[in-house]
Structure 1
Amino acid sequence: MRKLATGLAALALVCSSAANAEGGYWGGTLGLMTVDADIVDDPINFGLRGGYTFASGWGFEGEYTNSLISGAADVFDGRDVDVDIQTLGGYGTYRSFGDVYFKGRLGLIYEDVSIGGYSSDDTGISLGGGIGLNLSPNTNVEFEYTMIEEDVNFWSGTMTLTF
Structure 2
Amino acid sequence: MKRSAVALLLALCGLTAYAPAQAQQPGNPLYFGAKIGLMDPDRGDEATNLGALVGYTLMEDTNGSLAVEGEYTRTFDDGEIGGNDWDVETLAGYLAYRTAGNVFLKAKAGYGWWDVNVDGATGFEGDDWDFTFGAGVGFRLSRKSGLELEYAVVQEDLNFISLGFFTHF
Match of 2:136 in 1: 130
Take 1:20 and 1:92, find their aligned partners in 2: how far apart are those partners? 19
Give the secondary structure class of the aligned counterpart of 2:60.
coil
Determine the structure 1 residue equivalent to 2:36.
30
Q: Distance in 2 between matches of 1:81 and 1:156?
A: 24
Query: Does 2:74 align with 1:66?
Result: yes
Cα contact 2:24–2:143 (8 A) shared by 1: no
Go from structure 1 to structure 2 and tell me whether the alpha carbon gap of 1:152 and 1:134 turns closer, same or farther (over 3 Å shift). same
Counterparts of 1:142 and 1:113, CA distance in 2: 25
Number of aligned residue pairs: give it: 139
Counterpart check, 1:55 vs 2:60: yes
Q: Any runs of at least 4 consecutive aligned residues in structure 1 with deviations exceeding 2 A, and if so which? A: none
Give the TM-score, by structure 2 length. 0.78
Report the residue type matching 2:46 in the other structure: D
For 1:61 and 1:85, the matched residues in 2 are separated by 20
Deviation (angstroms), 1:136: 1.2
Task: Give the structure 1 partner of residue 158 of structure 2.
Answer: 152
SS in 2 for 1:111: strand
Distance in 2 (alpha carbons) for counterparts of 1:151 and 1:81: 17
**TM-score normalized by the length of structure 1:** 0.81
CA distance in 2, matches of 1:20, 1:89: 26
1:20–1:96: 8 Å Cα contact kept in structure 2? no
Q: Tell me how far 1:82 sits from its aligned partner.
A: 1.4
Contact 1:20 1:95 in 2 (8 A): no
Q: Secondary structure at the match of 1:137?
A: coil
Match of 1:114 in 2: 117
Q: How many Å separate the matches in 2 of 1:122 and 1:20?
A: 37
User: In the alignment, does 2:85 pair up with 1:82?
Assistant: yes
Specify every segment of 5 or more residues in structure 2 that has no aligned partner in the other structure, as ranges.
1-20
Is the 1:126–1:146 contact (alpha carbons within 8 Å) kept by the matching residues of 2?
yes
- 1:113 deviates by 0.5
Asked whether the 8 Å contact 1:43–1:83 carries over to 2, the reply is yes
* Percent identity of equivalent pairs: 36
How far apart in 2 are the matches of 1:160 and 1:109?
Answer: 20
* Counterparts of 1:28 and 1:125, CA distance in 2: 22
Aligned to 1:6: none
Structure 1 spans left out of the alignment, 5+ residues? 1-16, 75-79
